[in-house]
Amino acid sequence: MTFEPHGRGRILRVTGPLVEAEYIGGTAMSDLVALGDAGLPGEVVAIRDRVVTVQAYEYTGGPAPGAPVRPLGRPLSAPLGPGLLGGIFDGLLRPPAAAGAWLEQALARVDLALEQSEHEDAVRRRWAARALADDT
């Protein structure tokens, strides 16, 4: 089995949400990978005999055998911040209201820390007030 240069592999088989691809050096369990030209997100769930099995987080009707697989070198993670409060999100942290009636494949995640500076200012004010209260 040959490997594509620059840390890319190729899809070997697609069976529903499971995608088998060439092992990509340095890829570990739970790592996030981009599948196909659209870069659909998926998670490595098994590595065996130079083949990785990826659980796709999106509809897999597009990627086909021979399509590229690119490792992202990190697990799926969520940024923490005020943007999470009171929100409803899907498994990839996309707010349904931002996507419309139908979610599109590989829709970029919204930055959930948009109000971070306001939040940080409020925290600083609280800590300053506590520090002043402790001094008296």
Q: Check residue 108 and give its pLDDT.
A: 47
Domain ranges of the chain: 9-75, 82-135
The pLDDT tens digits of the residues spanning 56-84 come to: 988 888 889 999 999 988 888 777 777 77
Q: Is the pLDDT of residue 13 over 60?
A: yes
- Is 9-75 a domain of CATH 3.30.2320.80? no
Burial class of residue 18 in the structure, from the number of CB atoms within 10 Å of its CB (0-12 exposed, 13-18 middle, 19+ buried): middle
Give the 3-state secondary structure of residue 13: strand
Q: Check residue 79 and give its pLDDT.
A: 72
The pLDDT tens digits of the residues spanning 86-124 come to: 777 777 767 776 556 665 655 444 444 444 555 566 667
Contacts of 39 (CB under 8 A, 6+ apart): 70, 106
The pTM assigned to this predicted structure is: 0.63
